Amino acid sequence: MVIKNVEFIKSATRPAHYPAGDFPEIAFAGRSNVGKSSLINVLVNRKSLVRTSSTPGRTQLINFFDVNGEFTLVDLPGYGFARVPLAVKKEWGPMMETYLSKRANLRGVILILDIRRTPVAEDVQMLHWLRAYSVKPIIVVTKCDKVSKNERAKQAAVIAQTIGIQMAELNFFSALSKEGKDQIWQRIEGVLYGAETEAVGAES
Ligand code: GTP
Ligand code: MG
């Protein structure tokens, strides 16, 4: 993917505020602090297009970014962080389900998981919604720089089993080393333009 231009379009919480137009859209979901914003920044070759933070739960809005005037990347609010206020937690489910079910532009969702952690209930819920609303999932396992090759293999098995998918469906990534960037773009292009290499492929 050649990135010519990326720009922030707007933030929204409800459909009336989603951007108009019919550009195809790819959204990024995952628990707070998992590395959603970092992944987007690496994909578009920008150090800080999307604000990253060591304080979990900073992104509470749905943030839309235009790429090349061709498609849209969407940073979704993180979930599962204990210190987020209850009122915010209660809004997450309806806000997500509304976006996933009503956003006609949406083609695929990148579900981001931490290689060191067992997926939480919200991760599984997200996958159920994607199936229910026929949105293609791309599973990215991030922070791979933090574990050894052995630990990676062990954790990959736990993650695949917990969310009920094949290990071959996992795309390994690190925002530090940028490992996995090209493969994730291939998956995104497959979902955006319906190429052979779709969300779930045999090679990995
Ligand atoms: P919220 O918006 O708060 O939900 O977080 P987020 O999912 O957008 O995570 P963010 O990209 O802000 O990253 C959270 C922290 O993890 C930051 O301190 C990042 O530098 C760090 N981080 C993200 N990806 C990686 C990675 O691949 N490797 C390492 N070592 N650190 C990472
Ligand atoms: Mg973020």
Both tokens of residue 6? 């990326």
> Which pLDDT value is given to residue 204?
43
Cβ 123 vs Cβ 30: under 8 Å: yes
- Residues in contact with 45: Cβ distance below 8 Å, sequence separation at least 6, in sequence order: 3
Domain that holds residue 129: 6-193
CATH number of the domain residue 172 falls in? 3.40.50.300
Rounded to 5°, the CA angle 127-32-77 comes to 70
Q: Name the domain count of the chain.
A: 1
204 residues of the chain, pLDDT tens digit each: 899 999 999 999 999 999 999 999 999 999 988 999 899 999 999 877 776 665 555 557 899 999 999 999 999 988 877 666 777 777 888 999 999 999 999 999 999 999 999 999 999 999 999 999 999 999 999 999 999 999 999 999 999 999 999 999 999 999 999 999 999 999 999 999 985 544 454 444
On whether residue 199 sits in a domain, the answer given is no
Ligand 1 pocket test: which of 11, 28, 31, 33 has the largest number of ligand atoms within 8 Å of its C-beta?
Answer: 33
Tokens describing residue 100: 């996933």
E-strand stretches of 55-149: 62-67, 71-75, 106-114, 136-142
Q: Is residue 200 part of a domain?
A: no
Atom 28, ligand 1: residue with shortest CA distance: 143
Q: Which helix (H) or strand (E) holds 171?
A: strand 170-172
- Protein residue with its CA nearest to atom 2 in ligand 1: 59
Asked if residue 122 belongs to a domain, the reply is yes
Residue 118: predicted pLDDT:
97
pTM greater than 0.75: yes
CB 136 within 8 A of CB 109: yes
Structure tokens at 173: 């990534």
CA distance 25 to 5: 16
Phi, psi of 175 (to 5 degrees): -70, -20
Within 10 angstroms of residue 34's Cβ, the number of other Cβ atoms is 26
